[in-house]
Structure 1
Amino acid sequence: MELQHFSHNHPLVFNEERNLESDQKVYCSGCEEEISGPMFSCVTCGFHLDKNCAMAPSEINHHFHRNHSLHLLSSLPYGAGTCVCNFCDKDCKKFVYHCSCDLDLHIGCALFLYDIAERKIGDQLQWIENKDPSISTENHTEKLIKAKCFACWKPLLDSAYLSLDSGFCLHKKCAELPLETNYPRHRQHSLFLQFNSHLVPCKTCKVIQSGGLVYCCSICNFVLHIECVSQPPIIEDTSSHEHPFTRLLLRQSSFTCDACGASGNYVSYICLTCSLIVHKKCTSLPRIIKSIWHHHPVFHKYSVVDNECGALACVICHEINKECGSYYCSDCKFILHVNCALQDPWWYYKIESRDAFEKLNQNGADNVDPSFSVIKEIRHGENVMNTEMKHFSHEHNLILHDEVKDHKCCDGCSQLIETSFYGCLQCDFFLHNSCAELPRKKQIWIQVHQHSFNLIADCVYMCGFCNFVCSGFSYKCKICDDRICVRCAGLSPACTSQGHNHPLLFYLKYSGQYCNACGDSIDNNVTYRCKDCDFNVHYRCILLPQTACHKCDEHILTLTCNEDNDYSEYHYCDICEEERSPNNWFYYCAVCDNKAHPKCVLGDHPYVKRGTNVFIESEHPHSLVFVQKVYPYPECCKCGQPCLDLALECGETRCTYIVHFTCVEQYSYFGRKANQIRF
Structure 2
Amino acid sequence: MACGFKSYKLSNQLRKLPKVPDKARSCWTSCGLYICKQTTQTALFTIKPFSLVSSPTSKYDKLIASIRAFMSLTNSHRNKKKGEMELQLKHFSHEHALIFKEEPSHESDEYACCSGCGKVASGPSFSCMECRFYLHKKCAEVPSEIKHPFHRDRNHNFKLLSSPPYEGTSLCCFCDKLCKNFVYQCSCGLSLHLDCASFSHKIAEKKFEEVDHIAHIDPLISSTEISNEELKNAKCYGCWKPLLDSAYFSLDCGFCLHRKCAELPLEINHSLHQPRSRLFYFHSSKLFLQFDGTSLRCQICRKTPRGLVYRCLDCKFVLHIECAEIPIKINLPYHRRHSFILQFNSEKFPCQNCQETPKPFAYCCSSCKLAIHVECISPPPVIEDESHQHPFNLFWKQLPFFCDACGTPGTCISYICLTCGLTVHKKCISLPRVINLPRHKHPINHINFLGEDGLKKKRCRICDGKVNTDYGVYYCSSCNYICHVICAIEDYKSYIFDESKEIVEQSLGSIISVIKESKVGNNVIATEIRHFSHQHNLVLSDDIEDDKRCDGCILFISAPYYHCSQCDFFLHKSCAEVPRKMKLWFHIHQRPLTLISDFIFVCGVCNYECSGFAYKCELCKSYICLRCALVSSDHASEGHKHRLVFYENKSARCNACGERSMVPYWCSDCNFALHDKCLKLPHIARHKCDEHPLKLTYHEDNDYAQHHYCDICEKRRNSKNWFYSCTICDSSAHTDCVLQEYPFIKPGTTYKEGDHSHQPLVIVRKVYHYPDCHICCKPCQDLALECAETGCNYIVHWKCINNSSSV
Fold match (TM-score > 0.5) = yes
CA contact (8 A) 1:636 1:659 kept: yes
In 2: Cα distance, 1:261 partner to 1:365 partner: 37
More strand per residue: 1
1:616 to 1:328, Cα distance in 2 relative to 1, 3 A: farther
8 Å contact from structure 1 (residues 193, 216) kept in 2: yes
Equivalent position to 1:224, from 366, 369, 372: 372
- Displacement of 1:372: 0.8
Distance 1:150-1:598 versus aligned 2 partners, 3 A rule? same
* 2:350 is equivalent to residue 201 of structure 1: yes
Match of 1:25 in 2: none
Q: Deviations over 1:629-649 (max 9, x none)?
A: 123322233333322222223
Q: In 2, are the aligned partners of 1:292 and 1:347 still within 8 Å (CA)?
A: no
Question: Structure 2 matches for 1:147-296, cutoff 5 A?
Answer: 150-153=299-302, 174=323, 176-187=325-336, 190-209=339-358, 211-217=359-365, 221-238=369-386, 240-249=387-396, 251-296=397-442
Task: List aligned pairs for 1:464-483, cutoff 5 A.
Answer: 464-483=604-623
Change (3 A) 1:125 1:509: closer
Match of 1:589 among 726, 732, 738: 726
Q: 1:284 to 1:404 in 2, by over 3 A?
A: same
Cα distance between partner residues in 2 of 1:267 and 1:390? 65
Distance 2:452 2:458 in 1: 9
In the alignment, what sits opposite 1:453?
Answer: 593
1:4-59 deviation digits (Å, cap 9, x = unpaired):
xxxxxxxxxxxxx9xxxxxxxxxxxxxxxx97538xxxxxxxxxxx9xxxxxxxxx
8 Å Cα contact 1:235/1:246 also seen in 2: yes
1:59-95 residue CA offsets vs partner (Å, 9 max, x unmatched): x9862157xx51275xxxxxxxxxxxxxxxxxxxxxx
Matched, 1:518 2:657: yes
Give 1:37's aligned amino acid.
Answer: H
State which of 281, 288, 298 in structure 1 corresponds to 2:444: 298
Displacement of 1:161 in angstroms is 7.3
SS of residue matched to 2:647? strand
3-state DSSP class of the match of 1:587?
strand
Gaps spanning 5+ residues in structure 2: where? 1-50, 52-152, 158-187, 189-267
CA drift at 1:609:
1.1
- Alpha-carbon distance between aligned partners in 2 of 1:455 and 1:234, rounded to the nearest angstrom: 51
Letter of the structure 1 residue corresponding to residue 564 of structure 2:
C
Q: Which of 423, 446, 451 is the equivalent residue of 2:563?
A: 423
Distance 1:340 1:450, change over 3 A: same
2:628 equivalent to 1:628? no
Q: Note the C-alpha offset of 1:262.
A: 1.2
User: Are 1:375 and 2:527 an aligned pair?
Assistant: no
Equivalent-residue separation in structure 2 for 1:366 and 1:308 (angstroms): 40
More divergent stretch after superposition (364-373 vs 385-394): 364-373
Q: Per the alignment, do residues 164 and 572 of structure 1 end up closer, same or farther by CA in structure 2, a change over 3 Å counting? A: farther
1:322 paired residue number: 469
1:11 maps to none
Task: Look up the equivalent residue of 1:121 and give its one-letter code.
Answer: L
CA distances 1:553-573 after superposition (whole Å, capped 9, x unpaired): 221111111222334544111
From the superposition, tell whether residues 582 and 408 of structure 1 become closer, same or farther in structure 2 (CA, over 3 Å).
same
Going from structure 1 to structure 2, the CA distance change for 1:565 and 1:222 (only over 3 Å counts) comes to closer
Q: What residue in structure 2 maps to residue 5 of structure 1? A: none
Rounded to whole Å, the distance in 2 between the matches of 1:565 and 1:392 is: 48
- The letter for the 1-side match of 2:331 is N
Q: CA deviation at 1:431?
A: 0.5
TM-score, normalisation: structure 1: 0.71
| Matching residue's letter, 1:554 | E
1:169–1:342: structure 2 CA closer, same or farther, 3 Å change rule? Answer: farther
User: Which residue is 2:602 aligned to?
Assistant: 462
Q: Provide structure 1 residue ranges, at least 5 long, that are not aligned to the other structure.
A: 1-16, 18-33, 39-49, 51-59, 74-96, 99-106, 127-138, 670-678
Greater relative CO (CA pairs within 8 A, separation 6+): 1
The alignment status of 1:656 with 2:803, answered yes or no, reads no
Aligned AA for 1:517? Answer: A
SS of match in other structure, 2:799: helix
1:487 aligned residue: 627
Residues 1:70 and 2:237 are matched in the alignment: no
CA contact (8 A) 1:470 1:485 kept: yes
Offset of 1:667 from its aligned partner? 6.5
TM-score by length of 2: 0.61
Distance 1:504 1:244 in 2: 42
**Taking structure 1 as reference, are residues 350 and 548 closer, same or farther at Cα in structure 2, changes over 3 Å only?**
closer
Q: Equivalents in 2 of 1:393, 1:261: separation in Å?
A: 51
Letter in 2 for 1:515: C
* Percent identity of paired positions between Structure 1 and Structure 2: 46
Within 2, Cα distance between the matches of 1:548 and 1:155?
A: 57
Task: Give me the CA root mean square deviation.
Answer: 3.9
Residue in structure 2 matched with residue 565 of structure 1 by the alignment: 702
Query: C-alpha deviations, 1:329-364, integer Å up to 9, x for none?
Result: 44554333211112356425799xxxx9xx98x967
Q: Measure the CA separation in 2 of the matches of 1:155 and 1:348.
A: 25
The one-letter amino acid of 2:682's match is P
Q: Does the residue aligned with 1:599 lie in a helix, a strand or coil?
A: helix
Q: What is the identity, as a one-letter code, of the residue corresponding to 1:532?
A: D
- For the pair 1:647 / 2:784, whether they are aligned, the reply is yes
CA distance in 1, matches of 2:506, 2:343: 51
Once the two structures are TM-superposed, the CA of residue 408 in structure 1 deviates from its matched residue by 0.4
Return the letter of the residue paired with 1:196.
N
When Rg is computed on C-alpha atoms for both structures, the one with the higher figure is 2
